[in-house]
Amino acid sequence: MRVARPIGLSGPALWTPEGICSTDEAVRNGLIDAETANELGHSGLPVSSLSGPEMAVHAGRAALAVTGTPHESVGLLLHSWIHYQGHDLWSPGHFIADRLRLSRALPLGIQQVCNGGAMAIDMAVARLLADPTTDCAMVTTGDRFVEPGFQRWRADYGIAYGDGATALLVHPLDTRPADLVLHSISTVAAVELERMHRGSDPFSPAPLSLSSHVDIRRTKKAFLAEGGMETFAKISRARLEHVVLGCLAEGDLTPDDPRLRCVVMPRLGRKTLDFAYRPALAATLRAELLDFGRDTGHLGAGDTTASLQDLIRGDFLDPGEYAVVISAGAGFTWSALLVSRGPGA
């Protein structure tokens, strides 16, 4: 999507708990073996006693405070998550909006698994472009990956899951300064890969009916047993290149443009990045590849906003320079955001 009206991204906030499960501790306690821990490459994972929505409230307050945004100016709240939010048949977005005193905001839930945070930004931009009366939107994410339902270190191959929440304000650039300017956002899907997270399992009547915990390894084993790895590798590389090149084209940049300073990869395990991301991106772009996930692990739908925060705090962009932030999620869906340093940074 080419952003027809200049859009600003402000106050990206990552809230993580004080609790940490170090990789050494996880190995000692038998939560993961040493070889797999080395392949993941994380120093540790944040562990929270709060639910995802409660953490999202903390992140939202930080975003509102740092930007000085009046509560009444937020007309839309988009909340995304991938795991249980603490209650059944319940809207976490309404809870977050209520706790943040966003009385004028319309709360919506975005369910696109790990790509949900990026997709929520996409939806916020579309709403702002379509409805000039919406002055500002907030995007939040929040997840807690706690046992017995979720084994953060070994639920998946090549990915370890950290607890945390994010928040971000999306608004027209002409209404207030911004930390980052969003020039384009591109999203592509490969629906033929949905089985990777379904496997051979039958449809069940309730969550965790087939297993006492989320077991993504089981479904991936079934997918890979039928030659799925070759299929996934081929499709994944093609879609990743397509979404990045499309994002650049919509932002009027070429892959070798010297103004493209860096590309931020999702917060996945080191081996997964080396297999599925680095080769394709290095062959396509000249920009530096950045991995901000070594001390957080994968934050579910929160990777995108967390990476935007790291871009700002690390002062990676000089005026006139650009970055591409990549997100991906089961389904499969990939998103790429092209941003530059904003006037408020």
pTM (2 d.p.): 0.96
Under 8 Å CB-to-CB from 261, ≥6 apart: which residues?
Answer: 287, 288, 316, 317, 318, 321, 322, 323
- Show the domain range for 270: 182-341
Per cent of the chain over pLDDT 90 is 90
Same domain, 199 and 81: no
Q: How many helices (DSSP H) and strands (DSSP E) are in the chain?
A: 10, 12
Token output for 274 = 């080396």
**Arithmetic mean of pLDDT, 188-192:** 95
Where does the pLDDT of residue 345 fall: very low under 50, low under 70, confident under 90, or very high at 90 and above?
A: low
Where does the pLDDT of residue 229 fall: very low under 50, low under 70, confident under 90, or very high at 90 and above?
A: confident
Residues 202 and 198: their CA atoms lie apart, in Å, by 8
Same domain, 206 and 78: no
Look at residues 156, 177, 198 and tell me which one is the last residue of a structural domain.
177
Token output for 24 = 């050494």
Token output for 218 = 């089981």
pLDDT for residue 6 is more than 70: yes
Same domain, 15 and 163: yes
**Arithmetic mean of pLDDT, 234-253:** 95
- Tell me 59's DSSP state: H
Look at residues 153, 177, 201 and tell me which one is the last residue of a structural domain.
177
Contact 299, 159 (CB under 8 A): no
pLDDT tens digits, one per residue of 58-96: 999 999 999 999 999 999 999 999 999 999 999 999 999
Helix 92-99 and helix 52-67, axial crossing angle in degrees, nearest 10: 40
Residues 230 and 23: their CA atoms lie apart, in Å, by 31
Closest CA to 77 of 130, 141, 15: 141
Handedness of CA 151, 154, 155, 160 (dihedral sign): positive
Look at residues 177, 205, 226 and tell me which one is the last residue of a structural domain.
177
Closest CA to 221 of 153, 157, 308: 157
Q: CA distances (Å), 233 to each of 69, 243, 246, in order?
A: 43, 15, 20
pLDDT tens digits, one per residue of 273-330: 999 999 999 999 999 999 999 999 999 999 999 999 999 999 899 999 999 999 999 9
Same domain, 62 and 131: yes
Residues 210 and 82: their CA atoms lie apart, in Å, by 18
Contact 87, 195 (CB under 8 A): no
Same domain, 42 and 158: yes
Mean pLDDT of the chain: 95
Beta strand residue intervals within the chain, DSSP E? 2-15, 20-22, 44-46, 74-80, 106-110, 136-143, 164-172, 180-189, 260-264, 288-290, 322-329, 333-341
Same domain, 252 and 325: yes
Same domain, 86 and 107: yes
Supply the CATH number for residue 325's domain.
3.40.47.10
Structure confidence at residue 344 (pLDDT): 62
